[in-house]
Amino acid sequence: MGNYKHIEERFSRYIIGNYHSAAEIGVGRNFTVAELVARAGVAVRTTDVFPQQPPETIPFLRDDVCAPDTAWYRGTELIYAVRPGIEMVPCIIALARSVNADCIIYHLGNEIYERGGRIIDCGVVLHQYHTRV
């Protein structure tokens, strides 16, 4: 695992320190965050609109975040994404609200959505767009 990026390491440490369950949206082929948090004992599941080949230990569902299978996410404390397309962000936030989960995003470059949410600096800048009640 020597090739994982600084971003994924910092984001995973934040998740490990603050959550017991999480779902990654738009995982693509980069399962680094999901693997790190799973190894630390966080229950994690992943989704993408395209079929992916996840590690055996990481649950995966082919799902469209803009028309999600909300049952897959219920009971999850955190909905997160690493470098999602900006067009996905409103759908990710809506999903988090609908299942009462926190929503945290690491944006590509200097992108933000609307006002950028609450900033979390954990060695990288994360944006929290929804807080569960």
Question: What single string gives the DSSP state of each residue in 33-85?
Answer: HHHHHHHTT-EEEEEESS-----TTS-EEE--TTS--GGGTTT-SEEEEES--
CA-based nearest residue to 42, from 2, 80, 88, 91: 80
Query: DSSP secondary-structure letter at 3?
Result: T
The pLDDT value given to residue 4: 45
Residues of the chain with pLDDT under 70: 1-4
Write down the CATH superfamily of domain 6-130: Vaccinia Virus protein VP39 (3.40.50.150)
The pLDDT value given to residue 115: 87
Confidence (pTM): 0.94
Q: Which residues lie closer than 8 Å to 125 by C-beta, 6 or more apart?
A: 106, 119
The pLDDT value given to residue 90: 97
The pLDDT value given to residue 111: 85
Tokens of 13: 């440490």
Tokens of 103: 């929503």
The pLDDT value given to residue 2: 44
Per-domain residue ranges for the chain? 6-130
The pLDDT value given to residue 3: 43
How far CA 61 is from CA of 2, 28, 41, 94, 119, in Å, comes to 27, 12, 20, 18, 29
Task: Give the up-direction half-sphere exposure of residue 34: CA atoms within 13 A in the CB hemisphere.
Answer: 25
